[in-house]
Structure 1
Amino acid sequence: MILNSGDTALNTFPLIFDGHNDVLSKLASTGGVSEAGQFLSGLEGAIDLVKSKEGGFGGGFFAVWVPSPMDVDAKMEEMVQPRYDLPLPDQIDAEDAFPAALSQIAILLELERLGALSVARSVADIRDCLAQGRMAAIFHIEGAEAIDADLHSLDVFHAAGLRSLGPVWSRPNIFGHGVPFRYPSGPDTGPGLTDYGLRLVQRCNALGIMLDLSHLNEKGFWDVARYSDAPLVATHSNAHAICPHARNLTDDQLRTIAESDGMVGLNFAAAFLREDGRMLSDVPLTQVLKHLDHLIGILGEDRVGLGSDYDGAVVPDDVTDVAMLPRLRDAMETHGYGEELIKKLCHENWLRVLEKTWGS
């Protein structure tokens, strides 16, 4: 097991580097930059500095996500039904999305200024943070609504530290089409990438920005697979063979990710774990392990990690926040995963694919 600092908890298990969280949009909705300091002392939610030290959470992908006007309670009520098909939210124009994205980027930079985390621009940065017990954050954008058609803002965001981008969330934009929250359903739910989307893929490849396939529909997935020269990565998606939700990946998609030497981060969202597709939190960790087994069976031990969706989804009762992550590590060990595999799942596989994508 790795050693990280004088903190006893950090010395007993490998730190987790996670593929997706929504703490920035959560902070933006509860006060913005002025509330960033609460991240250090403790927040009502899944991730903060106190819980992270307790649970051995070393950091991950911090998503900038522009919310759609919606009744979240009504959405959650729909998603506990045996079947549901939520309509895709309306498209958001760049001039409306841009200030919302900037507000969340400002929160991320304020967290860095306060010493809560470091924004990582290379794998060496992440390894340094893990070794010193300092949280590492990848600046990630989930849904490219804030990026203009000429991609000028993409270059600016990259200069500010952007290293990972999901072209769409579950709504359309000028670049492509997201999958709806629909159960049961396959991911083939609409057209593929637009011409703007193909140019976005090309520019991200040139800049070394990782492309995230989570939320992208199946035709868009195959477009990225065809035109991208980087490993294919889904930061927070699960196995459609176990849970036939539109958000999950088919075995054909998983095999294509494996052939590209890419990666999938397992999503903790209950609706994408449960075989009945319901967003209910009574999900045993054995169900999490069932998805991990399936992903490892197709992708191999070097191409699977975690992508929790913390602070953005209903998650299993046993791992409602990062302080409870030792329960998942213990479940992996009890399940028969060896120490080396657990370390790969916790963080080493993310570092491998990022180094291959970023080049450093």
Structure 2
Amino acid sequence: MKPPQPPLVDAHLDLAHNVLDMGLDLTLPLAELRRRHPRGDLPTATLPALGQAGVALVFATLFASPHHPQHNPDGGYRTPDEAHALAWRQLELYRRWADEGRVRLVTSRAGLEAHLRAWEDDGVPGLLILMEGADPIRTPSELGFWVDAGVRIVGPAWGGTRYAGGSWGETGGLTAAGRELVAAMSSEPRVALDASHLSERSFWEAVEVYQGPLLASHSNARRFVSGERHLTDAMIREIGRRDGVVGAVLYNAFLVEGWRRGDPRPGFEVLVRHMAHVASLIGWERVGIGSDFDGGFGTLETPAPLDGPADLRRLQDHLPAGAFAGVIGGNWLRWLRSWLP
């Protein structure tokens, strides 16, 4: 059965983290995973659900969660070696899924095109690897090791890292090692810089050094929600100036100022408001989706009527004529084709 058209691309899913750190079996149908799930924040995405939704490509993360007395008091990495080991274990999971035929790994432009042709027939999702938080890169000189292993996008920060101020905790600028890493990325044609989670100061310091492809995989507009986690208009314009794409993240607290878990779910209009604002600055052709489904929140923390990846196609009824195919995935594919070797 051919997948739904047009292809859906989600620029941010913490798949391996959800399996290895959260204990979710993402090979299950979504209904079965929810039946087994003990918590109230219902899972939103599994591999079968992605396939059924017609998800052609996911930017799948390597996310090594740092130890933090508030955010992660009982686990997480404390050293670069521990961060490296956690991320490598996640990459090995993606490789195992590929060996099992559950996904296809995409690392090149030719590989992307071959995958999309195969996806038209079998609906198997592709994964392009994104490192969220660069601490698994033990030194800037190790960037090439990870790129050779298949990483194609690196976000230097989550919270503050050894490389950059982030969206919470340490919100300063790039460290000396961070400047070295960004410079190394600028001379490595196989990798792009993800601005999501960079502090505002780190963002501007990074783009002074970095000259390669730029994106924000999962970020919203600070115009509507305050804080370092979101992009200012000037940051959005800079991403657009470099022909990058901004992926909207679907967590309600990142869509509506002051929203708290347990509050009523807003509708799609809050998501579209962020998308339309980004489009007003850099065009609809630079707007995409970076859902972050299950990235610390579940279905009940997303806009209604989202119940799984397939419901993203309902955006067609809320976007301007002609914008839907690009936003749902075409814009990310165009961006990848513009720079993948």
| Equivalent in the alignment of 1:179 | 167
The one of 313, 318, 334 equivalent to 1:331 is 318
Q: Does residue 1:147 correspond to 2:134, yes or no?
A: no
Say if 1:175 and 1:68 are closer, same or farther in 2 by CA, change over 3 A. closer
Measured against aligned partners, the alpha-carbon deviations of 1:311-359 in whole angstroms (never above 9, x if no partner) come to: 2033224224213222233333xxxx224x211111221122223333x
| Ranges in structure 2 where 5+ consecutive residues have no aligned partner | 35-42
SS in 2 for 1:197: helix
Aligned to 2:128: 138
Q: Does 1:268 align with 2:255?
A: no
Q: Do residues 164 (structure 1) and 153 (structure 2) align?
A: yes
In the TM superposition, what whole-angstrom CA distance separates every residue of 1:163-218 from its partner, at most 9, and x where no partner exists? 01100112x2221111218xxxxxxx732111211111121222221110100101
**Unaligned 5+ runs, structure 1:** 1-5, 76-85, 182-188
1:60–1:115 CA distance, 2 compared to 1 (3 A):
same
Give secondary structure in 2 for the equivalent of 1:146.
coil
Shift of 1:151: 2.4
Distance in 1 (alpha carbons) for counterparts of 2:236 and 2:27: 40
The whole-number CA distance in structure 1 between the counterparts of 2:85 and 2:76 is 18
Please give the per-residue CA displacement for 1:231-272, whole angstroms capped at 9, x wherever unaligned. Answer: 331110001112223211011111111222212111111111
Matched, 1:20 2:12: yes
Structure 1 114/349 Cα, relative in aligned 2: closer, same or farther at 3 Å?
A: same
Q: 1:180 to 1:91 in 2, by over 3 A?
A: farther
Q: Give the conservation status (yes or no) of the 8 Å contact 1:18–1:307.
A: yes
RMSD (Å), alpha carbons = 2.7
What is the aligned residue count?
A: 322
Residues in 1 aligned to 2:32 and 2:85: alpha-carbon distance in whole angstroms: 27
Q: Find the aligned partners of 2:78 and 2:202 in 1 and give their Cα distance.
A: 19
Deviation for aligned residue 1:275: 2.9
Structure 1 CA distance for aligned equivalents of residues 98 and 77 of structure 2? 31
| Conservation of the 8 A alpha-carbon contact between 2:7 and 2:328 | yes
Task: Give % identity.
Answer: 27
The 1-side partners of 2:22 and 2:161 are apart by 26
Inter-partner Cα distance in structure 2 for 1:168 and 1:353: 22
With over 3 angstroms needed to count, the CA separation of the structure-2 counterparts of 1:253 and 1:200, relative to structure 1, is: same
Normalised TM-score (structure 1): 0.81
Distance 1:163 1:197 in 2: 18
Whether the 8 Å contact between 1:91 and 1:173 is mirrored in structure 2 is no
Distance (Å, rounded) in 2 between the aligned partners of 1:224 and 1:323: 36
Which runs of structure 2 are paired with 1:72-91 in the superposition (5 Å)?
none
Task: Tell me if the contact between 2:156 and 2:163 (Cα under 8 Å) persists in the aligned partners.
Answer: yes
Give the stretch that moved more between structures: 116-125 or 23-32: 23-32
Amino acid at match of 2:179: L
Q: Does 1:55 align with 2:53?
A: yes
Equivalent-residue separation in structure 2 for 1:138 and 1:326 (angstroms):
21
Give the distance between the partners of 2:118 and 2:240, measured in 1 at CA: 32
Q: Against the structure 1 CA distance between its residues 258 and 323, is the aligned structure 2 distance closer, same or farther, given a 3 Å change threshold?
A: closer
**Distance in 1 (alpha carbons) for counterparts of 2:214 and 2:176:** 20
SS where residue 305 of structure 2 aligns?
Answer: helix
8 Å CA contact 2:249–2:292 kept in 1: the answer is: yes
Letter in 2 for 1:265: G
